[in-house]
Structures are given as structure tokens and as C-alpha cells.
Structure 1
Amino acid sequence: MSPGEKLDPLPDTFILQPPVFHPVVPYVTTIFGGLRAGKMVQLQGVVPLDARRFQVDFQCGCSLHPRPDIAIHFNPRFHTTKPHVICNTLQGGHWQAEARWPHLALQRGASFLILFLFGNEEMKVSVNGLHFLHYRYRLPLSRVDTLGIYGDILVTAVGFLNINPFLLKSPRLEVPCSRALPRGLWPGQVIIVRGLVLPEPKDFTLRLRDEAAHVPVTLRASFADRTLAWVSRWGGKKLIPAPFLFYPQRFFEVLLLCQEGGLKLALNGQGLGATSLGPQALERLRELHISGSIQLYCVHY
């Protein structure tokens, strides 16, 4: 498998559409395929020191006249005596009853990471890794096909993801983390590691150890020189010639697909090639070890 080649389609694709970096606000974009339960929108940015308010609207269309319905209106307000957040729905040109949260989890002059997670009946919002609010749908989620961002906000990145809600429900796992592989690995098995990169990361390492506690293969990310490499007992260090997809304070998903004689790698849904192992090496592997500058949320195999 050549570097950069896509893996075979998987049931849950992590990235639904390309991320957008440093968009100019006001910013309006199409949500590919619309919204549905299980989708997530990730918003990173900075609140200006003089911010009064901004809003993130999940809209039913993008027309100017008439104004489209807004299924979910997320509106932090900083200029009042008690900063707060308003959520609401606009239908037929009329706002419905406001839902208000008095404790604003955003601060002027501070950076943030907001995750909007869409469930079957409500949207959940987390700010900087902590659950903040939930808002029940008043219009069908299936009608939403547009994202609008307006007001006093500096946006550094917008991501559109399809991911299980482990980010809001699962506790963090201790790092370094070890998991036993009592039966070894076999072709067709998938290892999934999900987590959050720390603000000032140094490295991330995923090791697979055999019965003799040797390390036949290591996947290592170095944030200092922004390189990703396989390190093995046989071939030494082999750089992966692909864009470095780990970013500080962003979530990631590493996927290893076991195959005869080696492992295929995908990071955030992008195939990054494969590495070879010795004959029958998979079945002799007995431990998965993860360490580095991350918060770990999920290890699945």
C-alpha cells in the first residue's frame, strides 16, 4: 500500500469533509450530507478581548431573503453584567422561547475548543474538554445543511467529524497505558486509539511488544520536528512521508488494521501506508503500550 493511499472503506469515517482553517467571519458553509445523529462539529478559536457576542447557527439553508430557519442557535454573550449563553430556534421568521445558561465557559482573550455533538434527540456541547450544555431539537435535525458563524470571534479551525460520543462520556485513561493481548493479533483485527493532544506536546508513542517483552514495532510521532515514523527491530526508523496530522489541543484517532505480515495505518481517517512485520509476528504480540503528551479516551481492539 503506497503512502497516502486510502484504506478500504470503514463503517464509520472519522473525517466527513475537509477541515477549514482561519475562515473569515461571518462564515457560512455547507455541511456535506447534512446533520444526523453521531456527527460532530469542532470549533477552535479565540474570543477577542473586546468581544460582545458571537453565534454559531445550524441553519436549514443559506438564503438571505427569506431568512432560513435556524434549528440550533448557540449564542454566547459577554457584554452583559452576567455573561451567559442563549440557545434558541428560529422558525418561519420567529424566535421560540430562549434557553439560557448563566455560567459562561468561555472567556474574553482566551482560546477555546468547542465540540457540538449531535444525538438522536438533543445536541451536547463541550468546551475545552468539559461538558457545558445540552439542547433538545425543536426542528428535525435532518433539515440542517448549513453552518453559519457570526459576531465577535476569531476562528482558527472548523472540523466536521463522525465519531462515537466517547469524548463526552468516557473517562480519561491513565497515560502511559498498557493493554494485554492474550491471544495476540490476527489479520483483519483493528486497533483504535483516540485521545486529545496536550497544549505543549513532545511526543506520542504506540508500542507493540511480543512474549519476550521485545518491541517488534513502534509508531512514534515527534512534535519537535513534526515527523511520524515506524521504528522496528529489523528495519530501524522509517519516516512516514505524509502530512503531520497531530495538532496541539486537538482530538485524534489512530487506526491500525492488522494484515498478513504487517499493519496498515490511518490517522484521523487518512490512510498513511503500512509497515511490515516478520513471519507470524502478529500472533506473537502480547501487549499494546501507549505513552506521550496526550490525554487518552479510548483504546479498542
Structure 2
Amino acid sequence: MSPGEKLDPIPDSFILQPPVFHPVVPYVTTIFGGLHAGKMVMLQGVVPLKARRFQVDFQCGCSLCPPPDIAIHFNPRFHTTRPHVICNTLHGGCWGVEARWPRLALQRGAAFLLLFLFGNEEVKVSVNGQHFLHYRYRLPLSRVDTLGIFGDILVKAVGFLNVNPFAEGSQEYPVGHPFLLTSRRLEVPCSRALPRGLWPGQVIIVRGLVLQEPKDFTLSLRDEAARVPVTLRASFADRSLAWISPWGRKTPISAPFLFYPQRFFEVLLLCQEGGLKLALNGQGLGATSLGQQTLEQLRELRISGSVQLYCVHY
């Protein structure tokens, strides 16, 4: 780096932290950047057959003495006559009034996907894609910077995600797609068939981790004749992001370069009439034009480069 040259600041507010696989419980971790409306936390795991109870706490710090305030305490209890869930808030060492849900959507011995969606005034919780409960904040969400998991629970993965940036004004509950662990189908280069092509409203989601010494990352869509009508390419040499045309013409994407070594990333492509909209780490980055006939003729998604993949969904 030449004298006086400045490194581009890392836009922390854009970057989602890497998922955690198979953490040992009790497990406590920092939530990078804290919580704010629009963030989601996903837990993927199994409830043991003899589970009595577990809890997921969104804490204000991680001190041991005095104990931290807990803004959101999510506590399923299986050992009672009527299994239920308790939500509460711990403030200044004192618990508030319990909020109780008598219907327990989690079952002993069963796998689950828990999704916590943080809004402006409340957190919504879904279990296996179905809305389960909502709990109004009693402490400011901005104070939360720590996740704690305790009790009888086997956690396979913890993910920190953003709400779909394309769902502007949508009232639908967001969907959390499980991370696929140690799957041969996720080895890079990775290929996925698109037997029906693409159509308006379809979303392609690619999540992964940038390797330690990355060179490039490429996501391409191919048609039946193996032509490549559209390619998204990130180059770490010059820190550029661009669309590449079938004739090799590069159209730079004017946006911060949001890929960083050993950082988690999430690419979303939304198919719409006339092209594809792009979002990276929850931030919309514009679109590229493609005719509807071209989109319908696409038959393969191919991913290559200096990344480790955690999820490919479409």
C-alpha cells in the first residue's frame, strides 16, 4: 500500500457474521453490530428425547457478576403436565411478569428450525416455518449484543441473517432456509439444475464463507445450449463487482465491495419481468436486464471461486 493510501472501511452494518455449527451448550456469543429491526437469528437443531427445558436469551452484555439484563428470554418447558413456552425480561436482577404460551410447537426427539425476527416493537418467533408467538420489547433492542443458549438442546447451526431486502412492505412471514452441513452437493464448483428456468418472483439464495486468501467468486446462469447469458463476478484483486455479458463485456456494479476474507456472505437474486435484482448481505445493489424468454430458457446455476458454501436455495 502506498504512503497516504487508505484502506476502504469495512461496512460492518452490511456484513452478517459467519454461522456457527454444532456449538457446545451452554453457548454464549457476541452478536456483531448488536440487534436492530430487520435482523433475524436462526437456530437449527434437535430437542433431546428426555429434554426438560432450554432457553434462548438475547442479553445486554455477558458479565457473570452482576448478571446481564436479558431483553428476551425464550424458554420452552417440556417436563410439566402441559408443556408450554415462557417469555420474560430480566432487568436489574429482577424478572418481569411472565408471558405464557400453552401450546408448544416443539417436540421431544424432533428436529426444529427456530427463527427470531426482530421488528421495531416486538420479536416474532416461528417454528418450522409457522408463526408461533410474538413478544413486545420491555428493554430497548439496541442494548442487545449477546446471544445465550442454555439447557436441554442440541444445536446444529446458529445463523445471523437479514430480512429479504426485496420484500418491501410485505406482511408475509420471512422464511429461514436451513444450512446444509458437510454436503457433497455444496462442494465448489457447485452446479444446480433449473429444470423450469426462472420466472418472476423466484429468488435464488446463496450463502457461504469467503476463504482466507480469495481470488474471485463467480455465479453464472446457463441456458440449454450451455451459453451463459448472465454472470455475476467478484474480483478480490481489484475489489470489484460486475455483471459479465455473454460477449465478455463488463458492467461494473457501483456499490461497496462487501466480500471479505473469512466473512459470511449472502447473495440474493430476485427474478422479475425484464431481469434480475441483486442483493448482497441484505443490501439491494440494483438489477441487470434480461428478456423473459431468456430467463425461461435458463437451465443451470453454477457457482465457483474462493468460497465455502453453506446454503444454495431457489
The TM-score, its normalising length taken from structure 2, stands at: 0.58
Tell me the matched-pair count.
224
Alpha carbons 1:44, 1:158 under 8 Å: kept: yes
Pair 269,91 (structure 1): closer, same or farther in 2 beyond 3 Å: closer
Q: 1-side partners of 2:289 and 2:111: how far apart?
A: 43
Amino acid at match of 2:160: F
Which position in structure 2 is the counterpart of 1:72? 72
Alpha carbons 1:115, 1:126 under 8 Å: kept: yes
Which position in structure 2 is the counterpart of 1:254? 268
Identity of aligned residues (%): 67
What is the Cα deviation at residue 239 of structure 1? Answer: 12
Pair 197,92 (structure 1): closer, same or farther in 2 beyond 3 Å: closer
What is the Cα deviation at residue 255 of structure 1? Answer: 1.7
Pair 56,286 (structure 1): closer, same or farther in 2 beyond 3 Å: same
Cα displacement string for residues 221-248 of structure 1 (whole angstroms, at most 9, x for unaligned residues): 9xxxxxx864235545899999xxxxxx
Which position in structure 1 is the counterpart of 2:40? 40
Which position in structure 2 is the counterpart of 1:207? 197
Pair 122,171 (structure 1): closer, same or farther in 2 beyond 3 Å: closer
Q: 1-side partners of 2:125 and 2:176: how far apart?
A: 18
Q: 2-side partners of 1:157 and 1:231: how far apart?
A: 32
Q: 2-side partners of 1:43 and 1:60: how far apart?
A: 20
Q: Aligned-residue CA RMSD in angstroms?
A: 4.5
Q: 2-side partners of 1:197 and 1:61: how far apart?
A: 28
Greater mean alpha carbon deviation, residues 229-238 or residues 92-101: 229-238
Amino acid at match of 2:38: G
Q: 1-side partners of 2:60 and 2:173: how far apart?
A: 34
Cα displacement string for residues 142-187 of structure 1 (whole angstroms, at most 9, x for unaligned residues): 0000000000000000011111496x94389xxxxxxxxxxxxxxx
Which position in structure 1 is the counterpart of 2:124? 124
Q: 2-side partners of 1:171 and 1:118: how far apart?
A: 12
What is the Cα deviation at residue 27 of structure 1? Answer: 0.4
Q: Residue 139 of structure 1: SS of its match in structure 2?
A: coil
Q: 2-side partners of 1:55 and 1:16: how far apart?
A: 23
Alpha carbons 2:18, 2:160 under 8 Å: kept: yes
Matches within 5 A, 1:92-107: 92-107=92-107
What is the Cα deviation at residue 135 of structure 1? Answer: 0.2
Which position in structure 2 is the counterpart of 1:170? 172
Amino acid at match of 1:115: L
Amino acid at match of 2:172: S
Amino acid at match of 1:86: I
Q: 2-side partners of 1:171 and 1:123: how far apart?
A: 12
Pair 104,240 (structure 1): closer, same or farther in 2 beyond 3 Å: same
What is the Cα deviation at residue 197 of structure 1? Answer: 7.2
Q: 2-side partners of 1:138 and 1:23: how far apart?
A: 29
Q: Give 1 or 2: higher strand fraction.
A: 1
Pair 236,287 (structure 1): closer, same or farther in 2 beyond 3 Å: closer
Pair 86,195 (structure 1): closer, same or farther in 2 beyond 3 Å: closer
Q: 2-side partners of 1:93 and 1:74: how far apart?
A: 17
Which position in structure 2 is the counterpart of 1:148? 148
- 1:158 equivalent to 2:148? Answer no
The TM-score, its normalising length taken from structure 1, stands at: 0.61
Matches within 5 A, 1:1-301: 13=14, 16-164=16-164, 169-170=171-172, 196=177, 205=194, 207=197, 230-232=221-223, 235=226, 254-255=268-269, 282=289, 284-286=291-293, 288-289=295-296
Alpha carbons 1:60, 1:145 under 8 Å: kept: yes
